[in-house]
Amino acid sequence: MKKIKTNSVISFLTLFCFAFLINSGFAFSQELPKAELPVLTTSAGQSPDVTTLNIVCEEAGIMYDYSDVPDVDMISSGVGLGGKESGETGFHVEINTDLEQFPEGTPYKAIMFAIGASLKGMGASGLTVDDEVNRLKNIIDYCKENNIFIIGIHVGGVSKRGAPGSDNEKMITAVAPYTDLLIVAKDSNKDGRFTEISNSKGIPLREIDYALNLVPLLTEIFN
């Protein structure tokens, strides 16, 4: 019988442990990155979850601008979104940024996407699923070109998940792999999809129990 070299055993165990750490959520140990103001909040899929995100920002004392369906031109206009105003239906704008600290036109340093599809919400904005995916792609491309920090947030739980190829999964595919940070509810990640994206793309991931747990997390990220 051949003897197994000690070094070979150690190498095997090292590789085994490394693989175990990756598969069990090694990304959770990554350092929480920092983001800078001013920040824009928006929806990826037009679900009501973006309202939750905005409430959390207010609780955390984070001043933000918001639009449900901003385009690249609006974002490139910086704080104030180029003076756009809410329409009667399907288009909403809120300017909550501290304009003394960040005057109108100041470039955004960060954008937060609340991920979750709503056919009703997209319909109210005159968007198809493909329209929304294309809009998101254009925004993400602009953010990457201009060093805008991207945070993807999924707090809708299983109600905003679905089978592969569903509307909700398309929104995750459109945004999550291109973020600089992912924050998801544990109930949103039961199948480990966000963990898989995090590990394969090297994106820091944080799981939370409830949406309100976003408050201290966002406070830490923006301070």
**Domains of the chain: residue spans and CATH:** 6-221 (3.40.50)
- Hey, what amino acid is at 112? M
pTM of structure:
0.86
Residue found under tokens 């974002």: 75
Distance CA 119, CA 166 (A): 11
Question: For position 8, what pLDDT does the model report?
Answer: 41
**Edge-to-edge strand list for the sheet holding 64-67:** 93-95, 64-67, 39-44, 110-115, 149-154, 181-185, 205-208
Question: Alpha carbon of 152 to those of 16, 17, 20, 133, 193: distances in Å?
Answer: 31, 29, 26, 15, 14
Residue found under tokens 């070979």: 8
- For 99-130, the pLDDT digits (tens) are 999 999 999 999 999 999 999 999 988 899 99
- For 20-62, the pLDDT digits (tens) are 344 444 444 578 999 999 999 999 999 999 999 999 999 999 9
Structure tokens at 115: 């991920």
Please count the other Cβ atoms lying within 10 Å of the Cβ belonging to residue 108: 25
Distance CA 204, CA 160 (A): 21
Report the DSSP pairing between strands 64-67 and 93-95.
antiparallel
- For 23-33, the pLDDT digits (tens) are 444 444 578 99
